[in-house]
Structure 1
Amino acid sequence: MVNRTQFVAVVDDDESVRRALKRLLNSVGVEAETFPGSEAFLDTLSSATAFVPACAIVDLQMPVIDGLELQRRMVGTGVPIIFLTGNDDPAVRAKALAQGAAGFLTKPLDGAVLIRTLQTTLGLRDLPPSDSPNSR
């Protein structure tokens, strides 16, 4: 399980996706903080010295600062990024992974795949199974 002081950031411009991801993560004992966009996440990351998520789950397509730009701006923070997108463009996938993304998942999301990706990314051996197999 994620250490009590650790949490996962969920960055997505769709409120229903943020809620569903938070519910899914909480169901397996992972604390989640949600952000409606990259700007809000970057503002919090830069202004709060104790705010360092264990991982960020990031929507690829967001207004103003998209997921790839957010990834570029986070280089050097040590925060792994798992991308979540409705557009599985192979070139974008390759670019995100080449730039160090820990995962690239597509919507509609299979919750079990996200949990396995999170386990791998954070080096966790056991998260309890989620109550809901899918999160949309």
Structure 2
Amino acid sequence: MGTNKPFVVVVDDDASVGRAIRRLLRSVGIAADTYTSGDEFLDVLSATPSYRPDCVILDVQMPGSNGIEVQRRLAGGAVPVIFITAHDDAGVRETALAAGARAYLRKPFNDVLFIRTVCAVLGIAAPL
């Protein structure tokens, strides 16, 4: 993005969750974009080669390309992935982590834990 500010993408089919996470990230100086579908995010990513987030936060269950499918499509790009989900499933969690996800958080999550997790994945100091 040409700035020193970390840039994160949030992909969650619940727009209110995406907005809340974006506000939380921005409150600690992390830039964020939101998408309500994996397909929408993947379309933007493929159409804009310069669009490269430092981290992607994915909901597991979404219509169209779910979080696991988006993670598979990102695998070659070395973009760190954090999963968030309201439907914790041990098999899905194992699949996501085995495929390289850096974290897997169950909704609702604690804001401080969430920010610390994102900062750890980005390699920056957590402000909280």
**How far has the Cα of 1:23 moved from its partner?**
0.6
Which stretches in structure 2 are left out of the alignment for 5+ residues?
none
8 Å Cα contact 2:120/2:126 also seen in 1: no
Q: CA RMSD in A?
A: 1.2
Which stretches in structure 1 are left out of the alignment for 5+ residues?
130-136
Equivalent pairs counted in the alignment come to: 126
Q: How far apart in 1 are the matches of 2:115 and 2:39? A: 26
Amino acid at match of 2:100: G
Structure 2 counterpart SS, 1:8: strand
Q: How far apart in 1 are the matches of 2:49 and 2:90? A: 36
Residue 9 (structure 2) aligns with: 9
Larger RCO: Structure 1 or Structure 2 (Cα < 8 Å, ≥ 6 residues apart)? 1
Amino acid at match of 1:29: G
Identical columns (%): 48
TM-score, length of structure 2 as denominator length: 0.94
Amino acid at match of 1:21: I
Residue 84 (structure 2) aligns with: 84
TM-score, length of structure 1 as denominator length: 0.88
Residue 126 (structure 2) aligns with: 127
Higher helix share: 2
